[in-house]
């Protein structure tokens, strides 16, 4: 189904969509912006339908997974802020208490860095959606650099030397559909980062032979 068909099917989801869209556009984030949310929504439909997930829960979770970033005044913890703010959006849109609980779990387990491990099918679909957004293939690597350079002011060396951020025991993919669609790009991305680190190390060695105090960038 197309996104518009789901918005027509679920009135609460349509109401939520319009509210979240408006707030993302007004805040105008550089990287985690409305375009980012739309890409995740498309991937959620592709994976969620194949896995026969509850798409109302999945799409609401994707809409709200970065909502905490719109409220930096409430704190730096994306997940803690997000789970405080998300229920207000959901209640206003007409979601039930049970649905809100499910969606909050999806938000708290949305990424490999999240505090909770995804336990439900909908949370696992949402998790896999994020894996596609945060580093698969060359395009994923480009967006990693875009984020850390523009929003964190980091240089190449710091980005390359960063730990992966994956919590111990977390999988790359929790759904079979996610694995089938993403495995090739996952391996391509791993090769890219390994080769980039090798090239960076070789360049530093070469420069330090001539300028010992060189510290890289």
The verdict on residue 216 lying in a domain is no
Write the CATH number for 206: 1.10.3210.10
Question: Please, which residues have CB within 8 angstroms of residue 48's CB and are 6 or more apart in sequence?
Answer: 55, 58, 59, 122, 125
pTM metric for this prediction: 0.90
What is the rounded CA–CA span in Å between residue 59 and residue 5? 12
What is the rounded CA–CA span in Å between residue 6 and residue 19? 16
The verdict on residue 39 lying in a domain is yes
The verdict on residue 114 lying in a domain is yes
pLDDT tens-digit readout, 37-64 = 999 999 999 999 999 999 999 999 999 9
Task: Tell me if 4 sits within 8 A of 51, measured CB to CB.
Answer: no
Give the pLDDT mean for 178-192: 91
Q: Give the pLDDT band (50/70/90) at residue 217.
A: confident
The verdict on residue 215 lying in a domain is no
Identify which of 31, 21, 27, 116 has the alpha carbon closest to the alpha carbon of residue 73.
27
The verdict on residue 8 lying in a domain is yes
Which residues constitute the domain of residue 168?
3-210
The verdict on residue 76 lying in a domain is yes
The verdict on residue 65 lying in a domain is yes
Question: Please, which residues have CB within 8 angstroms of residue 206's CB and are 6 or more apart in sequence?
Answer: none
Q: Give the pLDDT band (50/70/90) at residue 165.
A: low
Token output for 103? 């969606």
**How many domains does the chain divide into?**
1
Q: Give the pLDDT band (50/70/90) at residue 139.
A: confident
The verdict on residue 157 lying in a domain is yes
Identify which of 67, 139, 64 has the alpha carbon closest to the alpha carbon of residue 106.
64
Check residue 140 and report its DSSP letter: H
Q: pLDDT averaged over the chain?
A: 90
Question: Please, which residues have CB within 8 angstroms of residue 52's CB and are 6 or more apart in sequence?
Answer: 121
pLDDT tens-digit readout, 60-105 = 999 999 898 888 888 776 677 888 899 999 999 999 999 999 999 9
In this predicted structure, what is the pLDDT of residue 27? 86
């Amino acid at each position: 189904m197309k996104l518009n068909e789901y918005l027509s099917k679920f009135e609460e989801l349509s109401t939520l969509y319009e509210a979240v869209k408006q707030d993302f556009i007004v805040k105008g984030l550089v990287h985690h912006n409305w375009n980012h949310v739309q890409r995740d929504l498309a991937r959620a439909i592709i994976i969620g339908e194949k896995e026969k997930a509850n798409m109302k829960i999945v799409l609401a979770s994707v809409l709200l997974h970065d909502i905490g970033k719109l409220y930096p005044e409430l704190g730096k913890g994306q997940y803690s802020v997000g789970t405080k703010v998300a229920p207000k959006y959901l209640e206003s849109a007409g979601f039930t208490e049970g649905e809100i609980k499910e969606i909050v779990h999806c938000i708290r387990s949305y990424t490999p860095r999240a505090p909770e491990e995804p336990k439900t099918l909908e949370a696992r679909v949402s998790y896999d959606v994020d894996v596609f957004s945060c580093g698969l293939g060359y395009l994923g690597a480009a967006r990693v650099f875009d984020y850390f350079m523009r929003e964190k002011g980091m240089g190449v060396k710091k980005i390359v030397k960063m730990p992966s951020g994956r919590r111990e025991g977390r999988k790359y993919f929790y759904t079979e559909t996610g694995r089938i669609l993403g495995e090739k790009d996952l391996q391509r991305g791993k090769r890219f980062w390994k080769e980039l680190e090798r090239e960076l190390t070789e360049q530093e060695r070469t420069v330090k032979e001539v300028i010992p105090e060189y510290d890289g960038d």
